[in-house]
Amino acid sequence: MARDTRKELVKGTDEFMSIIGRLIRWIKANKKVFILSCIIVAIIITGSLGFLYWRINREHVAMAEYFNTTGDVESIESLMQNYADTRAGRLAILRLANKAYSGGDPDGAIKYANEFIDVWGKKDIFYWESLLILAQAYMDKGDLAGCLPFLDKCISSAPESMKDGALFYKGVALKGLNKPSDAIEVLRKVSGRYAHLANVYIGDIALSGEEK
């Protein structure tokens, strides 16, 4: 058994040396091709590393500007346009959606929130925030039925704090749609910082005699 193992090791070494020998002979016979291939590989590696460095540095610069930019719309739009390919540039779109909503422009909020969802490409806290902005903007426009699909998405998959917010707004929307029983059912599921407001709405529905 030991002899067989030793033979296999020797055989493996011989095969490896044979391959190395053939490679060396090929290089000697094809020096120009070998040198050109090495140059091409070196250029590709150098270019890739250079692009990676540029990309990382651009992301850092963009994020620094994102945190340092003033709150005016012009500076946020400038960041969005100049760094559209970066995380910070995409987050600037969400900031514009927030800015539009807080400024009483639901149409602008809807426009920017949808644009953010299209370019963000992942479901994280920023994605859920954009859905809540959409829902609240539709509510502000008086389209209570239109806000429900966005709220339902948050209720099904968002983090608990955002889920509570979505439940609360859904209860409010259902109350406005003259569905008091459904509204109370949803509002009773609200917890966290929205729980008190939910109880207030439940009390209002009960006092008004709307619940069937």
Query: Model confidence over 101-157: pLDDT tens digits?
Result: 999 999 999 999 999 999 998 899 999 999 999 999 999 999 999 999 999 999 999
Question: What's the pLDDT at 136?
Answer: 96
Question: What's the pLDDT at 106?
Answer: 96
Greatest alpha-carbon span in the chain: 96
pLDDT band at 14 (very low <50, low <70, confident <90, very high): low
Structural domain spans, the chain: 143-212
The answer to whether the beta carbons of residues 93 and 78 sit under 8 Å apart is no
Q: Does 139 or 3 have the greater pLDDT score? A: 139
Question: What's the pLDDT at 5?
Answer: 59
What is the Cα–Cα distance from 212 to 195, expressed in whole angstroms? 22
Question: What's the pLDDT at 131?
Answer: 96
Question: What's the pLDDT at 46?
Answer: 73
pLDDT in tens, 169-196: 999 999 999 999 999 999 999 998 899 9
Q: Which amino acid is at 73?
A: V
Is 165 a residue whose pLDDT tops 80? yes
Buried b vs exposed e over 105-114: b needs ≥16 C-beta within 10 Å?
Answer: bbebbbbbbe
What is the Cα–Cα distance from 3 to 69, expressed in whole angstroms? 74
- Mapping DSSP to helix (H, G, I), strand (E, B) and coil, where does residue 104 land? coil
pLDDT in tens, 20-58: 777 777 777 777 777 777 778 777 777 666 667 667 888
Question: What's the pLDDT at 10?
Answer: 52
**Which segment of 2-6, 111-115, 146-150, 205-209 scores lowest on mean pLDDT?**
2-6
pLDDT in tens, 52-82: 766 788 888 888 888 887 778 888 898 899 9
Answer positive or negative: Cα dihedral of 166, 172, 173, 177. Answer: positive
What is the Cα–Cα distance from 186 to 56, expressed in whole angstroms? 45
Question: What's the pLDDT at 16?
Answer: 65
Q: Does 17 or 185 have the greater pLDDT score? A: 185
The answer to whether the beta carbons of residues 63 and 42 sit under 8 Å apart is no
- DSSP code of 124? S
Question: What's the pLDDT at 109?
Answer: 96
Is 13 a residue whose pLDDT tops 70? no
Question: What's the pLDDT at 63?
Answer: 86
